Chain A
């Protein structure tokens, strides 16, 4: 049919831009939802246990800010779900059999929990018992966290597809093992890393707002007590984030060596690979330790992955991408032959099928036009990684100092620290966005690692359509973000609780 022609490359760029834009905006609001839900639930628990009205008022204040932020997180999330269909239609069919399930489960298990109990939390103070109210506050946060679980399962599967098999008759990957998809270690690490980083962001947000009050000598008791709860929450979160980040590093080295090579700007591989702090400043051997937990661990560079091949930590010989691309083309050709002959010439079809099965692991490489296309944007993975790690270190330090001086009752004496606490909020957002940039940009050009590149995943749309929706989203989300920040700062400024 005549309109079955190729897709304009500009559509791919704009669809990617739109996904990046909407995902980036969504991730501005979600970590605060996740983080504040823990802090406010802890505070309400203290109220429940002590009966002290101070804690009720304090919890309610943070819940109010939670509410302002929550709605916009929900609004930006809607687009992300449907965008898989609207802009990534091949993707939706090619892996929908696996990818759709976590999204559906997220709706059934998590979203209803969240939206039911948030109503009780906000409207139920004088209508339900204290115990039921406390349970509702925790369940609201649990709903949000459960939803993070399922969407991160879906994302982890895009980084490390597992538990499926390609079916040439239906032309898609089909799920073979639900538990492998839902509970693979990659997902477990990613979940705890992401969620604990969100708790950290929420804690830093509480700390930042509280420091602002202290600098103005307002709401002093509320601010000091909030810092106490948030600093401890934040420190625990920092530890979990660091530990799971280390685990994620190993996962990436094992399953996404190109992402690691790009994040380190590593052109050639080596043992005792050095870690680059900034270009030109290197610490010998540290990258090998981070990637393999072994000083002598071999870390492949971009050239090994593309052209030369290498030996992985288990001693297996890994072929270069050029060889994989060749096999990918063979898989595509065999697939085509099978589809052409399966109804009319069963013998030929069987032969084609056998040839396909032999090469199908490299099917996705068949869509890659040249090896260099396999390199993700290096600067956009190298720098965000450093920003993320550096920021997280600074945040941990600030939280530690705040916790220490609060304990000694000297918080108000160290105004520089209060300033640092306030500005930490920006750093937390920077770290959080950077983390996702590393994860998502580092996976390029794959939509699903080794399985489906973005150019074979995209919908066939006109460039102007996608451009139009891109700018509509840009305008709407930016306007809403400005409104949200102003509403939030107003609510913070107006709050009086002595």
Chain B
């Protein structure tokens, strides 16, 4: 039976999946953050840029679709978080704007700012993108500073329904070190994924051993920070909403309780983590193994998907308010109408078809890895 509640859960599941895909696809950013450290000379840098250059649009498009889907399904989050944490989102957007033009412009004659400037734009986006998105997601667990009061629409000089209670407009998130830890987890994960992706995508004898070493270098901080965050998550106090009264209160070990209450999500989480680790370990142990990105990539999607579902299901406000807990956003109080969710759900049935043609098109141009020779001969390159 398709109830309003089911539709809310379905859309949270979809939005979570899109968010998880964004994190996975940020292997582009992870790789770009290493343009100057991994690429020792011009030719190697071009290999890296051309390798991620064939994928960046998917990351970008998924980010935009994530935004659109979140808007359509949970508009109160869109209005509250984007206007409130203004500076965090603006910085993320700026870095992605710079990235989008940099590929096409960096190698072209007359690009005004010079090749290296555009490459630095790619590096800046490669660092800021994952760190800021990770930190922003941290506030899903640790709360943000806002209040929501819809009654203000009754005033002729209406003020905003959603208001932020700090003048820092989102930057205050770094005051909670665990938000920053999550930002760094995402950052190092993206770097690991970036190296795994390039191993698979660039067919080059010199870069490959270097990439394998880089996987190890980034895995160490990733693992330490990730395990610390998971430990923190299992023991932390969380917000909980009474499904009948809608009253929000604190609950000890909330996310541990969620994991136990949602066995399917727990399994997803565990399988995801194992896949991420398998992809990394196999790459480190076997010098001929190139498919690490598939395992770690799929593992990343499953892990992040599970984490995001954990934060919204089982009567958990997914965007808790530190200023006024009763303003916290839950699936029920922030979602679109039943009609809109239903209409959107019908549209969502087309997603498998979209995935199928993406897969087909990717395969058709990506069967062989990029080589120095191909770059030399190709007319369209970055």
Residue of B nearest to A171 (CB): B150
> Which of A82, A98, A125, A329 has its CB near the most chain B CB atoms (within 10 A)?
A82
A408 within 8 A of B: no
Is A239 positioned at the interface, with any CB of B under 8 Å from its CB? no
Inter-chain contacts of A85 with B (CB < 8 A): 67, 71, 78-79, 81-83, 89
Segment 76-91 of B: residues with Cβ below 8 Å from A: 76, 78-84, 86-87, 89-90
Q: Is the CB of B68 within 8 A of A84?
A: no
Evaluate contact between A86 and B350: CB separation under 8 angstroms: no
A236 close to chain B: CB less than 8 A: no
Chain A binder among B35-43, B155-163, B174-182, B279-287: B155-163
The answer to the question of A243 belonging to the interface, with a C-beta cut-off of 8 Å to chain B, is no
Determine whether A471 belongs to the interface, using a CB cutoff of 8 Å to chain B: no
Nearest CB on A from B319, distance (A): 13
Return chain B residues, CB-CB under 8 Å to A77. Answer: 64
Judge whether B221 is part of the interface by a CB distance below 8 angstroms: no
Contact residue among A1, A79, A90 (Cβ-Cβ distance under 8 Å from B97): A79
- The CA-CA distance from A89 to B334 in the complex, in Å, is 13
Say whether B223 faces chain A, with CB atoms less than 8 Å apart.
no
Choose among A90, A101, A136, A366 the residue that contacts B156 (Cβ–Cβ < 8 A): A366
For chain A, residues 237 to 270, give those with C-beta under 8 angstroms from any C-beta of chain B: none
| Residue in B54, B61, B98, B100 whose beta carbon sits within 8 Å of that of A112 in the complex | B61
Task: Tell me which of A199-207, A216-224, A423-431, A484-492 binds B.
Answer: A484-492
Q: Which of A37-45, A188-196, A455-463 contacts B (4 or more CB under 8 A)?
A: A455-463
- By beta carbon, the residue of chain B nearest A368 is B156
Q: Is A130 an interface residue (CB 8 A)?
A: no
Known: A64-B380, A119-B361, A479-B112. A86 touches B82 (CB 8 A): yes
Q: B337 contacts A71, CB within 8 Å?
A: no
Closest to A150 in B: B68
Contact A5 B159 (CB under 8 A): yes
Asked if A107 lies at the interface with its beta carbon under 8 angstroms from chain B, I say yes
Decide: A476 and B94 in contact? CB cutoff 8 A: yes
Does A115 contact B350, Cβ atoms closer than 8 Å?
no
* Complexed CA–CA distance, A170 and B79 (Å): 14
Beta-carbon contact of B153 and A94 below 8 Å: yes
A61-90 vs B, CB cutoff 8 Å, 1 = contact: the mask equals 000100110111011111101101111111
Convert B92-123 into 0s and 1s, putting 1 for each residue whose CB lies closer than 8 angstroms to a CB of A.
01101110110111001111110000000000
What are the residues of chain B within 8 A of A93 when measuring CB–CB? 75-76, 78-79, 150, 161-162
- Chain B residues within an 8 Å CB radius of A170: 150, 337
Q: Are A108 and B158 in contact (CB under 8 A)?
A: no
Residues in A neighbouring B153, C-beta threshold 8 A: 90, 94, 171, 335, 456
Distance from A425 Cβ to chain B, minimum over Cβ atoms (Å): 18
Q: Is B371 an interface residue (CB 8 A)?
A: no
- The residue in chain A whose Cβ has the minimal distance to the Cβ of B112 is A483
From B98, B108, B348, B365, A119 is in contact (CB under 8 Å) with: B365
A86 touches B101 (CB 8 A): no
Inter-chain contact A68/B365, CB cutoff 8 Å = no
Q: Is A132 interfacial (CB 8 A cutoff)?
A: yes
B288-306 vs A, CB cutoff 8 Å, 1 = contact: the mask equals 0000000000000000000
Nearest B residue to A79 via CB reads B93
Inter-chain contact B61/A175, CB cutoff 8 Å = no
Q: List residues of chain B with CB within 8 A of the CB of A119.
A: 54, 57, 361-362, 365
Bound CA span A136–B365, Å: 12
Q: Cα distance A192–B68 when bound, in Å?
A: 24
Give the contacting residue for A175; candidates B65, B343, B380; CB below 8 A.
B343
| Measured CA separation A125–B365 after assembly (Å) | 9
CB–CB A101/B152 < 8 A: no
A111 CB–B CB distance under 8 Å:
yes
Cβ-based interface call for A465 (8 A): yes
Q: Are B90 and A81 in contact (CB under 8 A)?
A: no
Closest to B335 in A: A97
Q: Which residues of chain A come closer than 8 Å to B347, judged between CB atoms? A: 101, 104-105, 108-109
Q: Cβ of A271 < 8 Å from any Cβ of B?
A: no
In the complex, A16 has a CB within 8 A of chain B:
no
Kindly state whether residue A178 has any CB partner on chain B within 8 Å.
yes
Kindly list chain B residues whose C-beta atoms are within 8 Å of the C-beta of A78. Answer: 60, 63-64, 93, 96-97, 100
* Shortest beta-carbon distance from B93 to chain A in Å: 6
Instruction: Return chain A residues, CB-CB under 8 Å to B337.
Output: 97, 167, 170, 174-175
**Closest beta carbon of chain A to B125's beta carbon, Å:** 11
A64–B357 Cα gap in the complex (Å)? 24
* Complex-state Cα separation, A111 to B60, whole angstroms: 10
Shortest CB distance A179–B (Å): 10
Contacts of B105 in A (CB 8 A): 68, 71, 480, 483-484, 487
The reply to whether B111 and A4 form a contact with Cβ atoms under 8 Å apart is: no
| Cα(A487)–Cα(B149), bound, Å | 50
Task: Tell me which residues across on chain A come within 8 A of B362, comparing CB atoms.
Answer: 116, 119
The answer to whether B336 touches A465 (Cβ under 8 A) is no
Structural contact, A68 and B150, CB atoms closer than 8 A: no
A123 at the interface (CB under 8 A from B): yes
**B340 contacts chain A at the CB level, 8 A cutoff:** yes
A96, B79: Cβ atoms closer than 8 Å: yes
Is B365 within 8 A of A335, CB to CB? no
Known: A89-B160, A112-B65. A96 touches B357 (CB 8 A): no
A100 touches B155 (CB 8 A): no
Chain A, residue nearest B348 (CB)? A108
Please tell me if the beta carbons of A489 and B110 are within 8 angstroms of each other in the complex: yes
12 A-B residue contacts at CB 8 Å? A4-B159, A84-B71, A89-B79, A90-B153, A90-B161, A93-B150, A97-B336, A108-B347, A119-B362, A175-B337, A455-B157, A458-B160
